[in-house]
Amino acid sequence: MARSSIYIVLVASLFTTTLAILTAQQNYLHNCAANVGEQCGKQFYSKLFTHNKTTITRDCCYKILQTGYSCHNKMTIFILETDPKFKNVDRNDYLTKSDHIFQKCNRFTEPENEEFLAKCIEKVGIDCGEEIFSKLINDKKISKHCCKKLVKTGEKCHTSMVQALIRTPTMRNIDAFQFLKKHKKIFNDCKYTG
């Protein structure tokens, strides 16, 4: 009798633990999908799982990178495991293609090398960098001094710093296309007012 009670407790404990893990995984995947968004999710799905000549936009590439490789990979695996169309397919082919898409997006949105970026950051400086960041994010004012520094640093530096910034997970709610458009406007405004 005592053995069966212990067995029931162990089974109940295992069942509860399994449900908690499944719920955590479902929440994780739900957050991944929400961060990628419906439009970019459709582009990715079409590129990976159909024979359409779908192109993933730069904005969607940023979304995929912002979400991160782990989310990207786990969403691919989830689709392969749950969609009946993929029950009897070689999953390695799809996982390889998924990796290829992630790497292509990485190359497509990659800023200049780290050494170049470090020099750009050094030229702008911490205080002006914070002002420019505040302008990009919160539409705060940039001083004439920082505008001059930005223009002196050059558009290539400014673009590379913004590209590096967009790729970070903390920027996943930013519309990359609008953000890049805004960075050009900031640079041009500084160029004509500085």
Give the rounded distance of the alpha carbon of 92 from its chain centre: 23
Q: What are the angstrom distances between the C-alpha of 64 and each of 81, 120, 152, 182?
A: 20, 26, 33, 21
What is the average per-residue pLDDT within 139-149? 92
Q: What is the pLDDT of residues 54-66, one digit of tens each?
A: 888 888 888 888 8
Q: Is the pTM of this model over 0.75?
A: no
Helix runs in 50-175, H state only: 58-67, 69-82, 91-108, 114-124, 126-138, 144-153, 155-166
The answer to whether the beta carbons of residues 40 and 64 sit under 8 Å apart is yes
d(CA 35, CA 30): 9
**Chain segment 5-30, per-residue pLDDT in tens:** 454 444 444 444 444 444 777 788 88
* Residue 79 identity: I
Please identify which residue in the block is written with the tokens 């750009």.
120
What's the rounded Cα separation, in Å, for the pair 157 and 190? 14
